[in-house]
């Protein structure tokens, strides 16, 4: 049995949390270390079921704290790093960009440096399709791994900056890295500031759903379970130094997404409220995942099956998101929206 130590950063968040659960269950022979500082987006209640398993460990730490992170690497001698920890919400980056540079850029450099000093087998950096900027509405165009980086928001600029540091650590020091650039995720434990969980929670409570502009911007949706499998494939099979795009091939306008949820819950479209557009709002994202598919990955969820599963999950787990929206989230919501 091969015993490996894996550091997952941001494993109390949405995608990192799903990935930790996936890895703990799939690889009992691996030891999974979840390092997270627990910002507003991190919560550990989701991990109650795996906490008792011997191969899961939680360490509360800030990835920006160089001494803490370097000591942890010295002590544990990780084989793999899968780096999710980030400030992830575009709207928050528009109102408060500074923390995005701290966490997403400086935090990534701290981890890269720690990984370089102790030596690791693989560093997987979880990035985003937003680093490529936006596409127009021509449905035949897609982001490939060779599309130039042209980020538009402070969030995507901070992620693109971190991607460049990851690339530089490979080119300069030979650090074995992969960068993944994924489209919009959805699924269990999605924080209700993002479009899909925000819509589901507000429709379930009969409150207005804010849609930016005319709702015609397009996103490509990937179920988070499919994303976890893709990262597993890149971790074990990705060629050092390579970038892999990950997409769901499920392009929808925001209005289509919101209407699908309203219809599935049997509510009225009068709940939709068109509000002032997001500044610098990217028109469309769409991904060409051919390179990753050549490593044997394929998504298993269609948007139709995934969105119903996600709605049902939110109905069964309403305690989880109701606890979130009753706290400091209300202050954020009232500042962000005037509805």
**Three state DSSP letters for 36-94:** ECCCCCCCCHHHHHHHCCCCEEEEECCCCCHHHHHHHHHHHCCCEEEECCCCCCHHHHH
Residue 87 binds ligand DAU, judged by CB under 6 A: no
CA–CA distance, 284 with 278 (Å, rounded to integer): 14
Taking the least distance from each CB to ligand DAU, the nearer of 109 and 128 is 128
CA–CA distance, 249 with 302 (Å, rounded to integer): 9
Residue 88 binds ligand NAD, judged by CB under 6 A: yes
Rg (the chain; Cα; Å): 19
Task: Write down the residue that tokens 């409570």 correspond to.
Answer: 205
Binding partner selected for residue 219 from ligand DAU, ligand NAD, none, CB under the kind-specific 5 to 8 Å limit: ligand DAU
The window from 18-26, 95-103, 126-134, 299-307 that contacts ligand DAU (CB under 6 A) reads 126-134
The nearest distance, CB 91 to ligand DAU, in angstroms, is 6
Q: Which residues belong to the active site?
A: 129-130, 155
Residue 231 binds ligand NAD, judged by CB under 6 A: no
Taking the least distance from each CB to ligand DAU, the nearer of 25 and 273 is 273
* Helical ranges in the chain per DSSP H: 14-26, 48-51, 66-76, 90-95, 98-100, 107-118, 154-173, 195-204, 224-237, 254-264, 290-293, 303-316, 318-325, 329-336
Residue 289 binds ligand DAU, judged by CB under 6 A: no
For 219, list phi and psi in degrees, rounded to 5: -125, 155
Which residues, including other chains, have CB under 8 Å from residue 29's CB and lie 6 or more apart? 1, 2, 3, 4, 55
Q: How far is CA 228 from CA 24, 56, 84, 121, 216, in A?
A: 12, 17, 12, 19, 29
Q: Which of 30, 44, 34 is nearest to 10 (CA)?
A: 34
The nearest distance, CB 152 to ligand DAU, in angstroms, is 11
Residue 128 binds ligand NAD, judged by CB under 6 A: yes
The nearest distance, CB 169 to ligand DAU, in angstroms, is 21
Binding partner selected for residue 13 from ligand NAD, ligand DAU, none, CB under the kind-specific 5 to 8 Å limit: ligand NAD
Binding partner selected for residue 14 from ligand NAD, ligand DAU, none, CB under the kind-specific 5 to 8 Å limit: ligand NAD
The neighbour count for residue 2, using CB atoms within 10 Å, is 7
Q: Print the binding letters for residues 178-217 with ligand DAU: x by CB under 6 A, - otherwise.
A: -----xx---------xx--x-----------xxx----x
Q: Residues binding ligand NAD: what is the number (CB under 6 A)?
A: 29
Residue 88 binds ligand DAU, judged by CB under 6 A: yes
Q: Which of 13, 123, 9, 118 is nearest to 63 (CA)?
A: 9
Taking the least distance from each CB to ligand DAU, the nearer of 75 and 335 is 335
Taking the least distance from each CB to ligand DAU, the nearer of 24 and 231 is 231
Residue from the set 32, 85, 218, 311 that interacts with ligand NAD by CB under 6 A: 85
Which residue ranges make up the site for ligand NAD (CB under 6 A)? 9-10, 12-16, 36-39, 41-42, 62-64, 84-86, 88, 103, 107, 126, 128, 159, 182, 184-185, 191
Which residue ranges make up the site for ligand DAU (CB under 6 A)? 88-90, 128-130, 183-184, 194-195, 198, 210-212, 217, 219, 254, 278, 285
């Amino acid at each position: 049995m091969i015993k490996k130590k894996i550091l997952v950063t941001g494993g109390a968040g949405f995608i990192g949390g799903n990935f930790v659960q996936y890895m703990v269950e799939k690889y009992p022979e691996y030891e999974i270390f979840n390092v997270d500082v627990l910002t507003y987006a991190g919560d550990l209640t989701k991990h109650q079921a795996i906490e008792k398993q011997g191969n899961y460990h939680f360490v509360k730490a800030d990835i920006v704290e160089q001494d803490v992170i370097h000591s942890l690497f010295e002590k544990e001698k990780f084989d793999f790093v899968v780096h999710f920890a980030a400030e992830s919400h575009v709207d928050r980056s528009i109102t408060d960009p500074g923390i995005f540079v701290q966490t997403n850029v400086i935090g990534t450099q701290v981890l890269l440096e720690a990984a370089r000093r102790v030596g690791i087998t693989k560093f997987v950096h979880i990035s985003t399709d937003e680093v490529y900027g936006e596409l127009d509405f021509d449905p035949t165009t897609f982001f490939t791994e060779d599309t130039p980086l042209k980020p538009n928001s402070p969030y995507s600029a901070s992620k693109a900056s971190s991607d460049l540091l990851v690339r530089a650590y490979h080119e300069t020091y030979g650090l074995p890295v992969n960068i993944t650039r994924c489209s919009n995720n959805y699924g269990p434990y999605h924080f209700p500031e993002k479009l899909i969980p925000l819509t589901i929670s507000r429709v379930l409570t009969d409150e207005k759903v804010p849609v930016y502009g005319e709702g015609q911007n397009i996103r490509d949706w990937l179920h988070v379970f499919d994303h976890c499998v893709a990262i597993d494939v890149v971790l074990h099979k990705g060629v050092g130094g390579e970038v892999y795009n990950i997409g769901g091939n499920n392009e929808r306008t925001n209005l289509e997404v919101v209407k699908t949820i309203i219809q599935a819950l049997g509510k009225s479209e009068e709940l939709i409220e068109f509000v002032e557009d997001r500044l610098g709002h990217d028109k469309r994202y769409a991904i060409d995942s051919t390179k990753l598919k050549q490593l044997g990955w394929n998504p298993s969820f269609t948007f139709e099956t995934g969105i119903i599963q996600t709605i049902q999950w939110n109905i069964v787990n309403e305690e989880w998101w109701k606890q979130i929206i009753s706290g400091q989230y209300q202050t954020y919501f009232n500042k962000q929206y005037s509805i």
